[in-house]
Structure 1
Amino acid sequence: MSIHVAEDVLSQDVQEPSDRDVDDDWLYFWRDYEGKVSAEELQELWGRVLAGEVKNPGTYSVRTLDFLKVLSREEAELISKAAQFVIDGRIFRGKDEFLEESGLILPQMLHLQDIGVLSGLESLGFKATYTSIKPDCFYLGLVASNRILLIEGEDTNKEAEAEVYLVTSIGREVLKLASFKVNEGYLKSVAKDYVKKGFKVSVADWTWVSDREGRYSNRIEITDNA
């Protein structure tokens, strides 16, 4: 089944595939691990892994394959729930009402940390400090799956800060496998936090056109009342 899932994913992908070949050692590990999976949901997961690696070799490390081989169906479902709250590789703190509505209360979040997907749950978390990508004004885009948060301001030296939980390197690779859309209420709540800090903030649809580039459309400005 995993092979069929990979074929289906690749047939629907609009991005151009890489001209590089999948590493033979990686493919050996994939075949060995995938062959021991029986649950249908996990077979689909392994199919997505293969599709991602075929499309862009090096996307999933052998270390991530080791992680996935011991992943339970319940843990995979938990990761899928968390995926809808990831913005630029982070989950923003102070949004418990949105997480709890999706069944992500503290024990579940701590478990995601225990298995190596998140970090920063045991303390006050981390502070993310964002700077402008333009020299003449503040401009920044934070991608959240199918959406993007656009933050703008006149002062290019201004910093946009937020308290966050970090998604680990393995977590980032695993989250690429989840088929999800960002939680819209949560995204707009994060946007409003930056509005209150004096930034002009918009949200828009986001489409990847390559592994490093994308484009946005249907941009909507966020205000305190929006």
Structure 2
Amino acid sequence: MAEAAGSGAQKGSLQTFMDEGGLTAAVLGKPIAAAIGRLIGAVADIPAAGVDNLAQRIRDDTEARSVVKRAIAQAAATRATADEALVDRAVQRWGYDRLRKQENVEAIAAETLLQLKEDPPKDPEGPAPSDDFMNFFQAHAENASSEDMRTLFARILAGECRAPGSFSLGALQVLSVMDKQLASAVQTVRPWVNNGDYVLFAGEFHKGDRLAPLLILEDFSLIRLGMLTKPLKLDDEGHGGLVYGRRAIILHGAPNAEIAMPAATLTPVGRQIMALCPEPTEVPDFDLIIAAAKKVMGIQKVQVGDFSHRSAEGQVFIANWRDT
């Protein structure tokens, strides 16, 4: 996206979108305009010329500051405190907090708009995200200060604008408490996930270093460990496929057999969190996944290759295949 001429806004910033046409329903569609407008605290259905810089408005909103100062002074009086400097510091802290949160939500709004511009909703005039979702989303999004967290929140809001109800409040709750340890575990496990549904829980994946990130995900109810299985129905030729990003495994067994795949199964919230991660281009532990597949009862042969496509019946096809 080109930066607006004559604008000092950073490329991709919310001000850039305002300069290019405003947060108007005509540009965005009413549901998206309403959601973005609600997030940033602006009236969405007005042109760019009518939207003040929100961060500056927070700094210059003397009436709001006066109201806050009176409220804090009243609280101080109730506590028998007459320290005017204390009241001033409290007001200043309120202003800084408001500004910080506004910067966070505007960064998320700008990234959301960028994603929606690249992949717009099929129905721009379809339903908007629910009030419950937006209330919960805003409460957590305003504290997303890192670029990674802002990007994740933007993906969620863009997805919710495309298909309201696709992201649960439970998944938002997990995202709001995500720390480096949990984020690292998600990133580690993501390439192991077959068909966005489960991890083949065999071989090296139920012990040692590979088990550790799975246990972290289990602590946050993102995955279920234990003696669980997922059925894999082989076709008339005795073939079944597992897909890992751009790689795939073809399992060979008896025709029409149903194979019980030992599985660490993602929960609904776990599937939503994993869906936020980019499709893996590489699978670092692919050889271990192949070894685990060979240990599954009923599997006679394993082939690997590059994932090509699925048939209408769900059959997996691979290219550049080889026997293992």
Q: State the TM bucket, normalised to the shorter chain.
A: 0.7 to 0.9
Counterpart Cα distance in 2 of 1:85 and 1:166? 12
Q: CA 1:185/1:81 → structure 2, altered by over 3 Å: closer, same or farther?
A: same
Q: CA 1:138/1:10 → structure 2, altered by over 3 Å: closer, same or farther?
A: farther
| Paired position in structure 2 for 1:108 | 213
Q: Could you tell me whether the CA contact under 8 Å between 2:193 and 2:199 is conserved in 1?
A: yes
Q: Could you tell me whether the CA contact under 8 Å between 2:108 and 2:150 is conserved in 1?
A: yes
| Paired position in structure 2 for 1:23 | 129
For structure 1, the residue ranges without an aligned partner over 5 or more in a row are none
Higher relative contact order (CA 8 A, sep 6+): 1
Q: CA 1:215/1:58 → structure 2, altered by over 3 Å: closer, same or farther?
A: farther
Pairing of 1:120-139 with structure 2 (within 5 A): 120=225, 123=226, 125-132=227-234, 136-139=236-239
Q: Could you tell me whether the CA contact under 8 Å between 1:145 and 1:206 is conserved in 2?
A: no
Question: Are positions 1:4 and 2:4 aligned together?
Answer: no
| Paired position in structure 1 for 2:174 | 67
Tell me the C-alpha RMSD between the 2 structures: 3.6
Counterpart Cα distance in 2 of 1:98 and 1:62? 30
SS at match of 1:84: helix
Q: Could you tell me whether the CA contact under 8 Å between 1:80 and 1:180 is conserved in 2?
A: no
Which of the two has greater helix per residue?
A: 2
Question: Are positions 1:168 and 2:259 aligned together?
Answer: no
Which of the two has greater strand per residue?
A: 1
Q: CA 1:213/1:9 → structure 2, altered by over 3 Å: closer, same or farther?
A: farther
Question: Which of these two proteins has the greater Rg computed from alpha carbons?
Answer: 2
Which string of whole-angstrom CA distances, capped at 9 and with x for unpartnered residues, describes residues 144-198 of structure 1? 3344444466612x12232221111110110001124151434544555579822
Counterpart Cα distance in 2 of 1:74 and 1:93? 21
In the alignment, which of 186, 196, 199 is matched to residue 91 of structure 1?
A: 199
The alignment of Structure 1 onto Structure 2 pairs a total of residues equal to 210
TM-score (norm: length of structure 2): 0.54
For structure 2, the residue ranges without an aligned partner over 5 or more in a row are 1-106
Question: C-alpha displacement at 1:40, in angstroms?
Answer: 2.4
Counterpart Cα distance in 1 of 2:138 and 2:307? 36
